[in-house]
Amino acid sequence: MIIVMSHGATEKQIENVIDKVHSYGLRTHPIFGVQKTVIGIVGDDKTIVVENMRGMPGIEQIIPILQPFKFAGREAHPDDTVIEIGGVRIGGEKVVVMAGPCAVESREQLLDIAGKVRASGASVLRGGAYKPRTSPYSFQGLGEEALKYLAEARDTTGLLIITEVTDPRNVELVSGYADIMQVGARNMQNFVLLTEVGKSGHPVMLKRGPSSTMTDLLLAAEYMIIEGNSDIILCERGITTFETYTRNTLDLSAVPAIKHESHLPVLVDPSHATGKSSLVEPMSLAAIAAGSDGVIVEVHPNPEQALCDGPQSLTLEQFDVMMTKLRAIAPIVGRSL
């Protein structure tokens, strides 16, 4: 941690800052420059207490040097984390494709989709039971009924199932059905929910919040890790920017960037990122080319009748075509599908 004193800081102010740092049991290394004095601080994790010294007279800025996350970072855990669930390995050599409808709409619809995405090569079935929607007038999901259909689809097809949990009171219920729980983008900093999911120890996919930096995402993962849950898949799903052509802006360079900083697997959701079905295939191919551990996409037999996210859903035929291309592109980057 580095404290930069302002241009006009007095000797007394510098002394006060140094004394304060010492009072926390930390050592200081002041560097007296021509224009400014800089105080390097050496110690252990307690440097976080220094953050709140920012208000002290004469301090211009405080710059952290160490990453704010410990367990989510590569420094503490250099090797890639591979999460194995029911024979599917996420974060390993094979890229993983998760597919299914935005929301579970009916038993028949789900079983139909499940069989077809399985045949095309998906290994995980997605489907929303509890839907967080911007408008209270939009379809909110079928709840536990949907969870039962998902479980049936798993039993029938052998696919793993992933579904979103939105309520800390439902973590036990949802983890009883789902192989992987999802914490959605709008709940990425719902720390109450993160803590419950962390305690559950159940595999989870954590989606990046629309205005969250990579560091915020890794800190959110850290919340779950310190509760004892290391089976965390990260998911880039677009960030909020000024561009309105797409629903969000897919920050694809976050994939190699996160994999550089963290050992956790990273997936990409081009459906929510772009909001346009015509962009899902090119961005899925790009995701794998950029080093993603897989993609999660929305498919629907009749997107124009979907109760949720129709415009961004692939048809089952489009999904099948895309899978063929993904299978071809994976080996170029040393992976398979």
Which residues 222-261 are close enough to bind its own copies by CB under 8 A?
222-223, 226, 239-246, 249-257, 260
Asked if 253 and 268 count as a contact pair (C-beta separation under 8 A), the reply is no
Q: Tally Cβ neighbours within 10 Å of residue 54.
A: 11
User: What distance in Å separates the CA atoms of residue 328 and residue 317, rounded to the nearest whole number?
Assistant: 17
Interface positions, 285-324, toward its own copies (CB under 8 A): 285-291, 303-308, 310-311, 313
Kindly state the smallest distance separating residue 101's Cβ from its own copies, in Å.
Answer: 12
Kindly state the smallest distance separating residue 69's Cβ from its own copies, in Å.
Answer: 8
Q: Which of 330, 287, 273, 269 is nearest to 92 (CA)?
A: 330
Interface positions, 137-156, toward its own copies (CB under 8 A): 137-138
**Amino acid letter, 194:** L
Kindly state the smallest distance separating residue 264's Cβ from its own copies, in Å.
Answer: 16
Whose structure tokens read 């080996």?
331
Q: By CB under 8 A, how many residues form the interface with its own copies? A: 106
Q: Does 54 bind its own copies (CB under 8 A)?
A: yes
- Phi, psi for 249 (deg, rounded to 5): -110, 115
User: What distance in Å separates the CA atoms of residue 288 and residue 271, rounded to the nearest whole number?
Assistant: 15
Name the residue nearer to its own copies (CB basis): 24 or 81: 24
Kindly state the smallest distance separating residue 100's Cβ from its own copies, in Å.
Answer: 17
For CA atoms 269, 94, 204, 314, the dihedral sign is positive
Name the residue nearer to its own copies (CB basis): 31 or 119: 31
Whose structure tokens read 């993904």?
326
Asked if 184 and 164 count as a contact pair (C-beta separation under 8 A), the reply is yes
Interface positions, 16-45, toward its own copies (CB under 8 A): 20, 29, 31-36, 38, 40, 42-45
Rg (CA), the chain: 23
- List 15, 22, 25, 65, residue binding its own copies (CB under 8 A): 65
User: What distance in Å separates the CA atoms of residue 165 and residue 170, rounded to the nearest whole number?
Assistant: 7
Asked if 297 and 98 count as a contact pair (C-beta separation under 8 A), the reply is yes
Binding part of the chain for its own copies, among 91-99, 105-113, 144-152, 207-215 by CB under 8 A, reads 207-215
Interface positions, 67-86, toward its own copies (CB under 8 A): 68-69, 75
Kindly state the smallest distance separating residue 109's Cβ from its own copies, in Å.
Answer: 14
Interface positions, 100-139, toward its own copies (CB under 8 A): 132-138
Kindly state the smallest distance separating residue 113's Cβ from its own copies, in Å.
Answer: 16
Name the residue nearer to its own copies (CB basis): 104 or 250: 250
How far is CA 324 from its chain centroid? 26
